[in-house]
Amino acid sequence: MDDTSLNLILLGHLDLTWPTGILILVAAVLGGMVWIIVLHRQVREHRRMVDQLRESRDLLHLFVDYTPAAVAMFDRQMRYIAYSQRWIEDYNLSDEDLVGRTHYEVFPETPPRWKEIHQRCLAGEVDSCECDPFERVDGHTDYVRWMIHPWYNDPPGHVGGIIMFTEVITNRVETERTQKLMTQELDHRVKNNLSAVLSLAEQTAATTSDIGEFRQAFMGRIRAMAQAHEALAHAHWKDADLRTLASLTLAPYLQTDGSRLHLEGEKLTLPAKATMPICLALHELATNAGKHGALSQPNGIVVLRWSEAEDGGLKIEWCEEGCVGILRPERTGMGTRLLKGLIEYELQGRVEFDFRPSGLCCIISLS
């Protein structure tokens, strides 16, 4: 007979070692004697099925644990059945075993709207979201991409719980947001710079007598704008270091004879919107010093000094020394008008000029 059949064994005594199986003992009286009837059903097939189920369960846990995604499986009471290692890593959970604990115990900050989604999915719905803000218990916000599926068991069609697939996309969201802001800032700056170039061209043409003089003055101002862009790009279009900006703008004079131009000041940063105007202002001051001021005389020097003002603003001082025969100009030149326009109108700051016999001292104050 095969393994699945029933064998009827009549035994006259009980001193036996029974093979592993399912034993049914039936007592009967026959001919004045008590007979024990043992029904033994072989269970090899049953054992094989149990082993297969255990193997499948172990493989499922192994797959979930090492899948390269944040995955968790829950029962109908939202208790953890299985979860991946990525789930632990993405949500900065401890190594404590989550199996048997409820999702809302692990994440007490779960908003009511998510609990409603869980209940709908426990009723058989499938739901997903590409970007969902998740306010964490410590106050910061994560952004999560998620999908929820119900899973089924016997009887057929009965929802046994849900499976969550999630991905923390906070870094991606912040990167995209930064890129969007940078694109908007770049668009704004390009428009402003084009307007500034046109204005510089018109003003330079109005104050120069020939094409050679125009070219020299105009190209110098365009180079100053380019240096401001370089400083901003180096700072990823955020606040720019003032010393770096000054060094770039004044590089021709520093490289020719650095002993005649001194930069003094602690580390300070300029707001991005102030970078271009300050760069152009320094260029105008240096150009004037090279033509008419300290840098045009053998013993002249320039000290560029900056510091934080008492009101929390910024104070920049351009002081020329060692000059001889410096007179106050009879008329306001293009450079002075441009400098005042940049500081007073664009930055709502203040500019003061002190034409001393030893050289010009210009003080720029920004709030």
Angle between helices 170-206 and 272-291 (to 10 degrees): 30
The answer on 284 and 230 residing in a single domain is yes
- Band (pLDDT 50/70/90 cuts) for residue 165 is very high
The answer on 190 and 163 residing in a single domain is no
Q: The CATH number of the domain where 200 resides is what? A: 3.30.565.10
Q: Determine the structural domain holding residue 108 and report its residue range.
A: 60-168
- Band (pLDDT 50/70/90 cuts) for residue 208 is confident
The pLDDT value recorded for residue 139 is 83
The average confidence (pLDDT) of the chain is 79
Tell me if 225 is assigned to some domain.
yes
The answer on 286 and 245 residing in a single domain is yes
The answer on 164 and 79 residing in a single domain is yes
Tokens representing 225 are: 């704008």
Amino acid at residue number 321:
E
Range 275-282 average pLDDT: 86
Q: Is the pLDDT of residue 23 over 60?
A: no
**Is residue 334 a contact partner of residue 288, using CB atoms and an 8 Å limit?**
no
Q: Is the pLDDT of residue 314 over 70?
A: yes
The pLDDT value recorded for residue 44 is 60
Q: The CATH number of the domain where 95 resides is what? A: 3.30.450.20
- Band (pLDDT 50/70/90 cuts) for residue 258 is low
The pLDDT value recorded for residue 53 is 60
Q: Which of 168, 193, 216 is the last residue of a domain?
A: 168
Q: Is the pLDDT of residue 77 over 60?
A: yes
- Rounded CA gap, 329 and 240, in Å? 33
Tell me if 48 is assigned to some domain.
no
Model pLDDT for residues 214-252, shown as the tens digit of each residue:
888 778 777 777 777 776 676 666 678 889 888 888 887
Local structure of 114: helix, strand or coil: helix
Tell me if 174 is assigned to some domain.
no
The answer on 203 and 145 residing in a single domain is no
Tell me if 177 is assigned to some domain.
no
Q: Which of 139, 168, 197 is the last residue of a domain?
A: 168
Q: 213 or 257: which carries more pLDDT confidence? A: 213
The answer on 145 and 64 residing in a single domain is yes
Q: Is the pLDDT of residue 269 over 80?
A: yes
Q: Is the pLDDT of residue 178 over 70?
A: yes
DSSP state of 260: G
Q: Is the pLDDT of residue 3 over 80?
A: no
The answer on 188 and 71 residing in a single domain is no
**CB-based contacts of 337-344 (< 8 A; 24+ apart in sequence):** 337/203, 338/200, 338/203, 338/280, 338/284, 339/280, 339/281, 339/284, 339/285, 342/277, 342/278, 342/280, 342/281, 343/277, 343/281
Q: Which residues have a Cβ under 8 Å from the Cβ of 28 and sit 6 or more positions away? A: 34, 35, 37
Model pLDDT for residues 119-148, shown as the tens digit of each residue:
999 999 999 999 999 888 888 899 999 999
The answer on 298 and 207 residing in a single domain is yes
- Band (pLDDT 50/70/90 cuts) for residue 114 is very high
The answer on 190 and 159 residing in a single domain is no
Model pLDDT for residues 90-105, shown as the tens digit of each residue:
888 877 789 999 999 9
The pLDDT value recorded for residue 20 is 46
Tokens representing 121 are: 């999915």
Tell me if 205 is assigned to some domain.
yes
Q: Is the pLDDT of residue 153 over 50?
A: yes
Tell me if 73 is assigned to some domain.
yes
- Rounded CA gap, 278 and 239, in Å? 13
Tell me if 120 is assigned to some domain.
yes
Sort strands 6-11 and 314-321 into parallel, antiparallel or unpaired.
Answer: unpaired
- Band (pLDDT 50/70/90 cuts) for residue 156 is confident
The answer on 271 and 154 residing in a single domain is no
Q: Is the pLDDT of residue 319 over 60?
A: yes
Judging by beta carbons within 10 Å of its beta carbon (0-12, 13-18, 19+), is residue 53 exposed, middle or buried? exposed
Q: Which of 104, 134, 168 is the last residue of a domain?
A: 168
Tell me if 204 is assigned to some domain.
yes
Tokens representing 123 are: 């009723």
- Band (pLDDT 50/70/90 cuts) for residue 18 is very low
The answer on 82 and 17 residing in a single domain is no
**Can you list the alpha helix ranges (DSSP code H) found in the chain?**
44-66, 85-90, 103-106, 112-122, 170-206, 211-234, 242-249, 251-257, 272-291, 334-340
- How many domains does the chain contain in total? 3
The answer on 223 and 97 residing in a single domain is no
